[in-house]
C-alpha cells in the first residue's frame, strides 16, 4: 500500500498582501475585498528573484530523510499545475536531480491536470513503486511553481496563486500515511480557457461542487469508511467559500477542513496538499490511525480525492 514516508515544505519569507497585488493582477477595489472577505485570502508568498530550481531545491534540501537514501530513489516526479514552466532546453528538474545526487533516477513532470496533479503524481509514484523489482525503492514527488504570468497568478474571481514548494518521499509500503483509496474524475469537456468561454465557465461552476463531492464520497466509500470516519480534510487552497459550500452539501464540519493556510500562502499550486499536511501534523490534528481526505480540483477539469490512514 502506497505510503508517504517523509515530507518537507518551503514557504518563502517574502509575504505580499493581496491588496498590494491589485494593480499587477488588474483587480478592482471590490474584487480585492471579495478575495479577502469571501475567499479568505490575505497574503501570498513569493520567492522573489528565485528560479524554479531554487524553489524546488529549497523543499528538497529540507527533506532530512532523503539524506543517505538517494540511491533508493528510483523516480522523481514534479507535480505541476501549469503546462509550461521554462523554455526548452532548460530542465530544472534534471538540474536539481543532478545536484541532489539523484541523477540515476527516472525524472519526469506530471502535468495537465492543473491543481489536481499532486494527487495524480502520488498515484503514479505508487504504481511505479508497486511494479519496481526493488521493494525498498522510493519515489520523490516535488511540487511548487513560479507564479510567473497573469494566468499563473490568478483565476479571476476564484483564486490567487503564490509560490511555495514541497518534497515528499513515497514508498511502496510503510507504517504511516498509507493510501487507502483514490477516486478521480476526468471531465475533459471543461477543457479550454474559461475566461473566454462564459457558457462553459458557468457550467463548470455549476457542476464543480457535485463533481468534487462525488470523488470525496467515492474515495471514502472505496476505503470502506463513512464520512463520519474522516477526521480531517486537507484541501487545495482554491478559496474558503467553495469549501464552505461543499461542506454544507456533503454534511461535513467546515471546522475539520484545514483552511488556516489560505490567508497565509494563497493557492500554492500542487504544493497546498503537502503544506496542509505538515500544518496538520504540527498542530497535532492527526492521531495514529486517523483517516483523512486529501482533495483537489484542477481546471480542465480533474476532480481527485485520496483517503490516507495516518
Residues of this chain that bind another protein (CB under 8 A): 30-31, 33-34, 37-38, 156-158, 198, 201-202, 205, 241, 244-245, 248
What are the residues whose beta carbons fall under 8 Å from the beta carbon of 63, sequence distance 6 or more?
Answer: 6, 7, 8, 140, 167, 169
Smallest gap from Cβ 74 to another protein, in A, equals: 43
Cβ closest to another protein, residue 191 vs residue 209: 209
Cβ closest to another protein, residue 134 vs residue 151: 151
Cβ closest to another protein, residue 33 vs residue 71: 33
Smallest gap from Cβ 155 to another protein, in A, equals: 10
Cβ closest to another protein, residue 75 vs residue 161: 161
Cell numbers found for residue 186: 476526468
Smallest gap from Cβ 218 to another protein, in A, equals: 22
Cβ closest to another protein, residue 188 vs residue 198: 198
In order of 139, 161, 209, 240, 304, the CA distances from 248 in angstroms are: 37, 25, 10, 13, 19
Smallest gap from Cβ 241 to another protein, in A, equals: 7
Cβ closest to another protein, residue 38 vs residue 148: 38
CA 294 to chain centroid:
9
Smallest gap from Cβ 83 to another protein, in A, equals: 24
Cβ closest to another protein, residue 94 vs residue 203: 203
Smallest gap from Cβ 38 to another protein, in A, equals: 5
What are the residues whose beta carbons fall under 8 Å from the beta carbon of 256, sequence distance 6 or more?
Answer: 230, 231, 232, 233
Smallest gap from Cβ 189 to another protein, in A, equals: 18
Q: Nearest to residue 254, comparing CAs of 262, 242, 243, 264?
A: 243
Q: What are the contacts of 216-219 at 24+ separation with CB within 8 A?
A: 216/183, 216/246, 216/250, 216/293, 216/295, 216/305, 217/250, 218/183, 218/185, 218/305, 219/181, 219/182, 219/183, 219/293, 219/305, 219/306, 219/307
Lay out the sheet containing 165-171: strands in order across. Answer: 106-110, 73-79, 138-144, 165-171, 3-10, 178-186, 302-309, 291-298, 230-235
Amino acid at each position: 500500500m502506497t505510503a508517504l514516508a517523509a515530507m518537507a515544505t518551503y514557504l518563502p519569507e517574502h509575504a505580499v498582501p493581496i491588496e498590494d497585488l491589485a494593480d499587477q493582477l488588474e483587480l478592482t477595489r471590490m474584487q480585492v475585498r471579495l478575495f479577502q472577505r469571501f475567499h479568505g485570502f490575505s497574503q501570498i508568498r513569493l520567492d522573489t528573484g528565485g528560479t524554479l530550481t531554487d524553489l524546488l531545491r529549497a523543499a528538497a534540501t529540507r527533506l532530512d530523510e532523503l539524506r543517505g537514501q538517494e540511491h533508493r530513489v528510483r523516480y522523481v516526479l514534479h507535480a505541476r499545475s501549469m503546462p509550461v514552466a521554462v523554455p526548452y532546453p532548460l530542465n530544472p528538474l534534471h538540474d536539481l536531480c543532478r545536484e541532489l545526487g539523484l541523477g540515476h533516477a527516472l525524472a519526469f513532470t506530471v502535468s495537465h491536470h492543473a491543481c489536481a496533479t499532486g494527487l495524480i503524481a502520488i498515484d503514479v509514484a505508487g504504481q511505479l513503486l508497486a511494479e519496481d523489482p526493488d521493494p525498498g525503492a522510493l519515489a520523490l514527488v516535488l511540487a511548487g511553481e513560479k507564479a510567473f504570468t497573469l494566468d499563473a497568478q490568478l483565476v479571476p474571481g476564484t483564486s490567487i496563486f503564490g509560490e511555495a514548494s514541497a518534497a515528499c518521499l513515497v514508498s511502496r509500503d510503510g507504517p504511516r500515511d498509507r493510501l487507502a483509496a483514490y477516486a478521480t474524475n476526468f471531465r475533459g469537456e471543461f477543457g479550454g480557457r474559461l475566461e473566454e468561454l462564459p457558457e462553459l465557465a458557468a457550467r463548470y461552476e455549476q457542476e464543480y461542487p457535485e463533481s468534487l463531492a462525488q470523488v470525496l464520497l467515492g474515495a471514502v466509500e472505496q476505503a470502506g469508511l463513512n464520512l463520519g470516519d474522516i477526521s480531517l480534510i486537507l484541501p487545495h487552497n482554491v478559496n474558503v467559500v467553495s469549501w464552505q459550500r461543499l461542506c454544507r452539501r456533503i454534511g461535513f464540519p467546515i471546522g475539520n477542513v484545514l483552511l488556516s493556510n489560505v490567508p497565509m500562502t494563497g493557492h500554492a499550486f500542487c504544493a497546498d496538499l503537502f503544506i496542509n499536511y505538515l500544518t496538520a501534523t504540527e498542530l497535532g490534528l492527526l492521531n495514529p490511525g486517523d483517516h483523512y481526505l486529501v482533495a483537489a480540483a484542477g481546471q480542465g477539469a480533474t476532480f481527485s480525492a485520496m483517503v490516507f490512514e495516518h
